[in-house]
A and B are shown apart, each in its own frame.
Chain A
Amino acid sequence: MEPRIVLETRNLRKEFNGLVAVADVSLQVREGELHAIIGPNGAGKTTLFNLISGVLPPTAGKVLLRGRDITGLPPHQIARRGIGRSFQITNLFPNLTVLESVRLAAQARGRRSLYFWAHYRRYREYEERALAIIHQVGLAGREHIPARALPHGDQRKLEIALLLATGPDVLLLDEPTAGMAAGEIPLLTDLIRRLREEGGRTILLVEHKMDVVMNLSDRITVMHQGRILAEGTPAEISADERVQRAYLGEL
């Protein structure tokens, strides 16, 4: 049986004043897989994520989620449909504590956010979910520290915690290990591996660290100058000569 396609882009294109950041990218992401996107800086990976998650409107092309056209929907509606993302450049709530940030992400999943007459602590389930996720990403003990006061590595973990708390079934992870100390990276790759093995989630991962990508991915797409250069299993990609020349050779 053919694997189901969860997320698909069709000839997706984005131009910034003539600069083509994403050039007619058609991508198919299969359900339950971890699909990595690699490519040199400026290849258009973050822009592709911005188009999928509704942060930017595409110049042309379509984004389909389970066959439904979601092109041009506002970010909150795309998030509500189960696409969650983390950011390459840390993007948090600076003055909110770890617990409050993750609790808000958990609350976003529910339907009680307009209950302006009730005290927020009445809904313990959000808090409990937040605490469980804080534990899962390795931030236990930091619940009451404001996001801005966290060391960079912990901010990256909080970024992932926010994503997980909203409970998406498609995860867009944009360089989750960016700027992390080498010693902390295994914790994060373990987390991603566990997310994948738990099943039920489809993960689109942008990552520079090739060992991480080769180990974790089911499929890899290589982007270069806004285009798809190659696509295949990790074995196929590491054997591909064009990829060697355009990207791997640079490292």
Chain B
Amino acid sequence: MEKTGFPLWLRRHWPGLVILTLMSLFPFLAGLAMGDPAAVPPEIQGVGRVLALAETGRAKFWQGMVIQMFILAVFAMSYDLLLGYTGVISFGHAMFFGTGGYVVGLLVKHAGWSAGAAVGVLLLVALLQSLMVGALSLRVKGVYLAMVTLAFAEFFYILAEATDFRQYTGADDGLHGIYPPPFLSPTDHRTRFYFLALVFFLTMYLAARRLVNSPTGRVMVAIRENEARAAMLGYNTFVYKLVALVAAGVMAALAGALNAFFNLGVTPSVLSVATTIDVLAMTIVGGAGTLTGPVLGAAIVHLLGYWLNRLFGQTWVLLFGVTFILIVVFLPYGIVGTVQARSWRWRAVWRERWRRIKEGRKFPLPS
């Protein structure tokens, strides 16, 4: 009998649900495993104790690590909308991430705006910025596009570092003291901030998934595969690339804003080429052209960076480079992409075997 409704839905989505449950329980599990019992007064017991433990010791630190991963995962997914789904290679994606941080930073710190209002304005700014950058860069292709986007990003980088605006941007010191509302403070209420980041990540993941599975998203993939042919079918490819860039730009800007609130500030480095290269590495390591790939890539790159840095100090960048090359050589489609391709091939092989077995039954071999 065909399963329908809830059982079918459950069967299809159980891996996601398991992961979601683990993500939701993580702060409390971390609190129990790694919290500092000495930091919690003994009279606090039960649920209250679990909640309090989560705010202490290494439990707090590891929640911070995961928050940073959620932020980077959204940033990487946004980059993949361009690189993996539309085949647009931008070298200026840091521009949007940095814009997110600086716009909310300037509004919250210097204009005294609430975080919510600042994010609202940021949405508008990111929309206009990506429309403008897209209109000016998407007319050219390949290396030229990479260069034009790089030039835009460098412009904003120079602007952020310019000493002329030190009183606003802090120039090379960066802009510090970007506080979210006190009840969401990443220092005092780490677990709350964790859930804010989790909800943000899930929302962005679902939005990105809907986009890539929409009629528009399918055209984006067609453009990646063969832009000239997509045009010959009647698609104005420029428009679809612009949609992809705007979606990617807005997503990256929101990730940049959350990043600024989490770190209570931004420095010009968020606008640098290194930031774009990081997000490129995350996307490629995880698997361009998938959404789970960049998420996994962001987690791996962030963790690897942390461990390599702890073990080897400054040389970690070099070691990371080597690891990156190994991954690209041995897993050309990234981790998720390669696993997917393998499992498809296996599924095809088994489908074929199964078909032969069934046909064998229908037409028994003459004996």
Q: A75-B232, A85-B232, A91-B229 in contact; A113/B237 too (CB < 8 A)?
A: no
Interface string of A90-108 (1 = CB under 8 A from B): 0111111000110111011
Q: How far is the CA of A162 from the CA of B225 in the complex (A)?
A: 14
Cβ contact within 8 Å between A114 and B225: no
For A93, give its contact among B215, B229, B240 (CB under 8 Å). B229
A residues less than 8 Å from B185 (CB atoms):
none
Cβ contact within 8 Å between A108 and B235: yes
The prevalent SS among residues of B at the interface is helix
Cβ contact within 8 Å between B234 and A55: no
Q: A76-B237, A93-B225 in contact; A116/B214 too (CB < 8 A)?
A: yes
Interface string of A210-221 (1 = CB under 8 A from B): 000000000000
Q: A108-B233, A108-B234 in contact; A120/B226 too (CB < 8 A)?
A: no
Cβ contact within 8 Å between A115 and B214: yes
Interface string of A105-138 (1 = CB under 8 A from B): 1011100111111111101000000000000000
Cβ contact within 8 Å between A118 and B225: no
Cβ contact within 8 Å between A120 and B215: yes
Distance in Å from the Cβ of B218 to the closest Cβ of chain A?
5
Residue A79 is within 8 A (CB to CB) of chain B in the complex? yes
Residue A71 is within 8 A (CB to CB) of chain B in the complex? no
A residues less than 8 Å from B233 (CB atoms):
76, 79, 104-105, 108, 162, 166
Interface residues of A in 156-183 (CB under 8 A from B): 162, 166
Residue A80 is within 8 A (CB to CB) of chain B in the complex? yes
A residues less than 8 Å from B210 (CB atoms):
116-117, 119
Q: How far is the CA of A116 from the CA of B225 in the complex (A)?
A: 19
Interface Cβ pair total, 8 Å cutoff: 96
Interface residues of A in 52-97 (CB under 8 A from B): 53, 55, 74-77, 79-80, 84-85, 91-96
Q: A93-B226, A108-B234, A162-B233 in contact; A116/B217 too (CB < 8 A)?
A: yes
Interface residues of B in 228-262 (CB under 8 A from A): 228-237, 239-240, 243, 247
Nearest residue in B to A96 (C-beta to C-beta)?
B225
Q: A76-B235, A162-B233 in contact; A94/B217 too (CB < 8 A)?
A: no
Distance in Å from the Cβ of B322 to the closest Cβ of chain A?
30
Residue B213 is within 8 A (CB to CB) of chain A in the complex? yes
Residue B219 is within 8 A (CB to CB) of chain A in the complex? yes
Interface size on B, residues (CB 8 A): 27
Cβ contact within 8 Å between A116 and B216: yes
Cβ contact within 8 Å between B215 and A123: yes
Cβ contact within 8 Å between B236 and A76: yes
Q: How far is the CA of A101 from the CA of B225 in the complex (A)?
A: 10
Cβ contact within 8 Å between B231 and A116: no
Most A C-beta atoms less than 10 A away, residue of B214, B215, B228, B229? B215
Q: A93-B226, A96-B222 in contact; A117/B214 too (CB < 8 A)?
A: yes
B residues less than 8 Å from A107 (CB atoms):
215, 218-219
Q: A76-B234, A113-B219, A113-B235 in contact; A95/B225 too (CB < 8 A)?
A: yes
Cβ contact within 8 Å between A114 and B226: no
Nearest residue in A to B219 (C-beta to C-beta)?
A113
Distance in Å from the Cβ of A108 to the closest Cβ of chain B?
4
Q: A76-B235, A166-B234 in contact; A114/B213 too (CB < 8 A)?
A: no
Q: How far is the CA of A79 from the CA of B225 in the complex (A)?
A: 19
Cβ contact within 8 Å between A76 and B214: no
For A104, give its contact among B211, B222, B231, B239 (CB under 8 Å). B222
Q: A79-B231, A96-B225 in contact; A120/B239 too (CB < 8 A)?
A: no
B residues less than 8 Å from A104 (CB atoms):
218-219, 222, 230, 233
Nearest residue in A to B209 (C-beta to C-beta)?
A119
Q: How far is the CA of A55 from the CA of B232 in the complex (A)?
A: 8
Nearest residue in A to B220 (C-beta to C-beta)?
A116
- Which positions in A face B, CB cutoff 8 Å? 53, 55, 74-77, 79-80, 84-85, 91-96, 100-101, 103-105, 107-109, 112-121, 123, 162, 166
Q: What 4 new A-B contacts, CB under 8 Å, besides A107-B215, A114-B243?
A: A93-B230, A108-B233, A108-B235, A113-B240
- Which positions in B face A, CB cutoff 8 Å? 210-211, 213-219, 221-222, 225-226, 228-237, 239-240, 243, 247
Q: Can you report 26 residue pairs joining A to B where beta carbons are below 8 Å apart?
A: A55-B228, A74-B231, A74-B236, A76-B237, A79-B232, A80-B234, A91-B228, A91-B232, A92-B226, A93-B221, A93-B222, A93-B225, A93-B229, A96-B225, A101-B222, A103-B218, A104-B219, A104-B233, A108-B235, A109-B234, A112-B215, A115-B214, A118-B215, A120-B215, A120-B217, A121-B213
